[in-house]
Amino acid sequence: MSRAPLNVLIRRVHPDVPLPAYEHPGDAGADLRTTEACELGPGERAVLPTGVSVALPEGYAAFVHPRSGLAARCGVGLVNAPGTVDAGYRGEIKVIVVNLDPRESVRFERFDRIAQLVVQQVERVRFQEVAELPESARAAGGFGSTGGHAAVGDASGQAALGGSVGGYRYASVVSDREGQ
């Protein structure tokens, strides 16, 4: 037997915007629409209004996720993915879209579905400070410590360990280890 859906109060900020909706039974995200048309050149971003605000119950949050089809077809992502909508937020939900395609512009028309909203229960924790944390199998092994990542090509086209993403250079974990 399926649980009754959680009731979430929603207010239309734009009178004509269709409310967020799940497209299929079992979908985790309800699609959000932009109330403003917008064109983004390569690398450009914009903060788009969705025309709705919500009052989530205490203990819940909503997360603004990208739509995979837009990402795969047009290179559209969300700068802050996933955006976090706090239970206490009553303002209009906004979507920070970015066109990651290096060549093509992308255009959104009014009421296009640009993102999806996933509502989840969230824990509020009490941070209890300690001098030592309990041991674990992973311990302090961080980014890439389990290996298996592809080599990154350098500017000359040769495979190099380490690389750079968006100007942020990172060193290879493998060579870090070898140097120890």
Ligand X SMILES: O=c1ccn([C@H]2C[C@H](O)[C@@H](COP(=O)(O)OP(=O)(O)OP(=O)(O)O)O2)c(=O)[nH]1
Binding status of residue 105 toward ligand X by CB under 6 A: no
Smallest separation, CB 32 to ligand X (Å): 9
Q: Regarding beta strands 60-65 and 83-85, do their DSSP bridges make them parallel or antiparallel, or are they unpaired? A: antiparallel
Is 84 one of the binding residues for ligand X (CB under 6 A)?
yes
CA distances to 15, 43, 52, 54, 96 from 11, rounded to whole Å, are: 9, 32, 6, 6, 20
Residues in the chain: 180
Q: Which is nearer to ligand X, 63 or 106 (CB)?
A: 63
Alpha carbons within 13 angstroms on the beta-carbon side of residue 11 total 9
Give the residue, chosen from 48, 54, 93, 97, that forms a contact with ligand X under the rule CB under 6 A. 93
Peptide bond just before 42 cis, omega within 30 deg? no
Cα separation of 168 and 180, whole Å? 23
* Least gap, CB of 115 to ligand X (angstroms): 8
Nearer to ligand X, 84 or 105 (CB): 84
Using CB under 6 A, pick the residue from 22, 60, 89, 111 that binds ligand X.
Answer: 89
One of 8, 46, 96, 161 touching ligand X (CB under 6 A): 96
Name the residues that contact ligand X, by CB under 6 A: 64, 80, 83-86, 89, 93-96
